[in-house]
Amino acid sequence: MILMSIVSFFTLQSVNNNESGNKAWNTCAGVGCHNSSSATTVAAITLLDSITNLPVTEYEGGKTYKILMTGNNTSLSQFGFQLRETNNKGTFGNFPTNVGRQASGFITHSSRLNKSNLIFSVQMTWKAPAAGSGTVSFDGLINAVNGNGNNSGDAVSAVKTVSYNEKVVTTFALTCSSISNSGSLVSGSAASGVSFSVPYTGATSGANYGAVNASSTGVTGLTASLSSGTYSGASGNLTFNISGTPSGSGNATFNFTVNGASCTHVVSVSAANSFVLTCANASSTGTLTKNIAASGASFTLPYTGATTNSSYSAVNVSSTGVLGLTARLTAGTFSSASGNLTLSITGTPTSSGTASFLVNIAGKTCTLTKTVSAGSSIISNESNPFQIHFQNNILSIEGDQAHQIQSISAFDLNGRNVYNKDIHTQSNKLLINNINLNKGMYVFKIQKVNGASFTKKLMIQ
């Protein structure tokens, strides 16, 4: 029994000629066995790419590879072998001379094989199973022989086992049904700020994609362009910018292909009309202050000549001049031929001055502006209805209008906003604890709910 556990290869060889017999894998049956020996080794069982001949670390379902088994024995120059895929998922083929499939499924020799370049080496092909088959494993062993016609002096290696995981292959795809539009097209008017965003999946992060230019059909005169770039992740969005002037109203159709994946996307073009944005009559509400988040600020933009119940797209425009702000218009429909559109202002202005917003609505543009104050420049103590004191990090405010206070801010003499707090009180006396300010002069600004504001300079000792 001990002998059977340490001998292996001779079980598929005849005693006299070292040729294969119809024996089982790695067992000892009948009389006579080759002896196991650590002098014989299986160095590697390696899958090679069939084109590049380079080793692979994973296999792809359905692909054909070369499989190479190598080993060594320093004193013996001929050998036999056994090789099998333990799960029998794939298919061996293209066997070299004197090598074939044994009746029970593993691969072996039919006569002695010679060393090549001082090593034992045998190579054939292996076709991987279909995708989704999972991990595969290979077992191999080598019997180094002296060719003396019997089993004396031969040396069998231990069994070598290697495993390969299946490579997860993702296919690049465009999610055509989820393409979203931005901006509007009007017959006869040059496209401005109009684009569509195409979701994708299955990309290789960091891989390059080429530029795409797709001319419109149906309504002609337009081009959807994608600039070349690299994928930022396995999934994301590609932005096509639309340029040109539509030849009429209706549907502009764009057919495009990115990395072998194709989409057809339709963008509607509105008929030319007398729609006008009355930019000169635009107005704004709320105040903007440097380094303070915008709250309650907006533009009101009058329009005329709209088609009732026709739609307009969302607008999100970043500020120029003073940066950090965005003017936003929610997508909707015109409720009447003339009226007003409201654009909210969000963000935090990074400086004082004038913030400008170039908006495009239904093919018409306007530049809207809003002043951003430096903060501490608002100083008016006239008719201040409040008594303001600061002591021991406590700010106290008294007055019959204290219940109308909306917010309190503090600025140093360099105009930097150092404290903000929203107020909700029904009392005519307000105490605010733990206002930790360094020693120095500060301007406290009190904002009432009706928009009026008052300031007071206080020296903090």
Identify the pLDDT of residue 33: 55
Classified by CATH at the fold level, domain 387-460 comes out as: Immunoglobulin-like (2.60.40)
Identify the pLDDT of residue 36: 63
May I ask the CATH class of domain 173-270?
Answer: mainly beta
Residue 11 backbone dihedrals phi, psi, to 5 degrees: -60, -20
2-166 with 387-460: one CATH topology?
Answer: yes
The one-letter amino acid code at 151 reads N
Identify the pLDDT of residue 376: 40
Q: What's the Cα-to-Cα distance from 87 to each of 131, 135, 212, 295, rounded to whole Å?
A: 15, 9, 46, 67
Q: Report how far residue 179's alpha carbon sits from residue 303's, in angstroms, rounded to the nearest whole number.
A: 29
Q: What pairs with residue 318 in β-bridges?
A: 326
Neighbours of 241 (CB within 10 A): 16
The one-letter amino acid code at 224 reads A
Identify the pLDDT of residue 273: 65
Identify the pLDDT of residue 208: 93
Identify the pLDDT of residue 37: 64
Q: Where are the domains of the chain?
A: 2-166, 173-270, 276-373, 387-460
The one-letter amino acid code at 206 reads G
Identify the pLDDT of residue 264: 97
Identify the pLDDT of residue 26: 58
Paired sense of beta strands 315-318 and 325-329, if any: antiparallel
Which one-letter DSSP state was computed for residue 6? H
Tokens of 339: 């009226």
Q: What pairs with residue 116 in β-bridges?
A: 119
Tokens of 453: 């504001």
* Segments of the chain with pLDDT less than 50: 1-22, 27-32, 376-382
Whether the full predicted model's pTM is greater than 0.85, yes or no, is no
CA–CA–CA angle 304, 310, 312 (5° rounding): 80
Identify the pLDDT of residue 275: 85
Helix and strand counts by DSSP (H, E) for the chain: 1, 43
Inter-residue contact 114 to 145 (CB < 8 Å): no
CATH superfamily membership of 276-373: Immunoglobulins (2.60.40.10)
Tokens of 184: 């509007």
Inter-residue contact 397 to 446 (CB < 8 Å): yes
- Percent of the chain at pLDDT exceeding 70: 89
Please give the order of strands across the beta sheet that includes 453-460: 417-422, 405-412, 440-448, 453-460
Classified by CATH at the fold level, domain 2-166 comes out as: Immunoglobulin-like (2.60.40)
